[in-house]
């Protein structure tokens, strides 16, 4: 495998080569919020790993279509699909369309999320609600529809040991409190126990539910935090491993969580954060 840079995104043909054993062959994967950032990275890897990949978005369908075209050109399978994950009717219509067109869904990556930051005294109910609706309720709605479909469809031992796999995109802020982002941190804390409770309830049915908690990853959501050398220097004081992450760091973990390689893993959060949750402020003091 030749990378385009040590930790930069690989091109789609390079990714196809990297996953030439196609661990997700014949599986259908839905990645929400996949037209940019971490979602895009995860979707590209899923497709390279052999999955028919549904690239969900709610705005900028042209960005989703460009990713689809790139994946297809490299020999992968992908389609874009529009839905606002915070709206029950749209989520149900999206799953119905996927089942109609692709037979079923095997993997859900609950990724769609956003920030609406404000100092706490100024935070409006609208800012609170907008973040909870997409980041938390959106994950609930998609997970519920995915579980319903896994149960309806029954096992497919020829493609995976599990009945289905759900990966919830959380954040280091499911454990690190985050002033100025009370709505966002609350949504991520909620994802933690939602994910664990789904995992506990659905394990007997062989449905696995895990989460990834990314640290600072270079994407549009946190552009201001790494866009200038000064900002990046500040950010690096929080990251013992000494570099800001890229979407690919998260995507590689997602492929493993979606594959049978992680079959005994459920209810776990993987912190993919360069050590951000290791209290780096204590490395010299305390
Ligand atoms: C947030 C980013 C932030 C990172 C680390 C993520 O969940 O979306 O804005 O840079 O956590 O603080």
Q: Give residue 5's pLDDT.
A: 38
User: CA–CA separation, 42 vs 255, rounded Å?
Assistant: 8
User: CA–CA separation, 257 vs 251, rounded Å?
Assistant: 10
| Mutational test site, ligand 1, from 217, 238, 271, max ligand atoms within 8 Å of CB | 217
User: CA–CA separation, 68 vs 251, rounded Å?
Assistant: 17
Q: Give residue 58's pLDDT.
A: 98
Known active-site residue 264: no
Which CATH number is 12-275 given?
Answer: 3.40.50.720
Q: Give the closest residue (by CA) to ligand 1 atom 12.
A: 216
Element (H, E) at 226: helix 223-226
* pTM (two decimals): 0.96
| Mutational test site, ligand 1, from 112, 131, 172, max ligand atoms within 8 Å of CB | 172
- Counting as low any pLDDT under 70, the low residues of the chain are 1-8
Q: Using one digit for the tens of pLDDT, what is the confidence trace for 42-58?
A: 999 999 999 999 999 99
The rounded Å distance from CA 28 to ligand 1 centre is 29
Q: How is residue 68 written in tokens? A: 């689809």
Please give the number of the atom of ligand 1 that sits closest to the Cα of 170.
7
**DSSP for 156-179?**
-TTT-SSSEEEEEE--GGGTS--T
Q: Indicate the average pLDDT of the chain.
A: 96
- Look up residue 47 and give its DSSP letter: H
């Amino acid at each position: 495998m030749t990378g385009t840079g040590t930790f930069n995104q690989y091109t789609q043909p390079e990714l196809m080569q990297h996953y030439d054993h196609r661990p997700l062959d014949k599986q259908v994967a839905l990645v929400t919020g996949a037209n940019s950032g971490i979602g895009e990275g995860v979707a590209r890897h899923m497709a390279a790993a052999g999955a028919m990949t549904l690239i969900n978005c709610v705005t900028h369908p042209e960005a989703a279509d460009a990713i689809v075209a790139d994946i297809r050109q490299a020999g992968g399978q992908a389609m874009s699909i529009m839905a606002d994950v915070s709206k029950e009717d749209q989520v149900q219509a999206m799953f119905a369309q996927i089942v109609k067109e692709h037979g079923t869904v095997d993997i859900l990556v609950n990724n769609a999320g956003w920030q609406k930051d404000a100092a706490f005294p100024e935070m409006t109910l609208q800012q609170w609600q907008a973040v909870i609706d997409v980041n938390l309720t959106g994950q609930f709605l998609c997970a519920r529809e995915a579980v319903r479909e896994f149960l309806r469809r029954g096992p497919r031992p020829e493609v995976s040991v599990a009945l289905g796999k759900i990966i919830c995109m959380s954040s280091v802020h499911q454990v690190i409190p985050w002033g100025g982002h009370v709505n966002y941190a609350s949504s991520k804390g909620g994802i933690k126990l939602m994910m664990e409770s789904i995992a506990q309830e659905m394990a007997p049915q062989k449905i696995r539910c895990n989460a990834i908690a990314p640290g600072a990853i270079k994407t549009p959501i946190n552009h201001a935090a790494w866009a200038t050398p000064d900002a990046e220097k500040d950010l690096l004081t929080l990251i013992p491993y000494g570099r800001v992450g890229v979407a690919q760091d998260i995507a590689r973990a997602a492929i493993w969580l979606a594959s049978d390689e992680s079959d005994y893993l459920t209810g776990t959060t993987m912190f993919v954060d360069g050590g951000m949750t290791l209290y780096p402020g204590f490395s010299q003091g305390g």
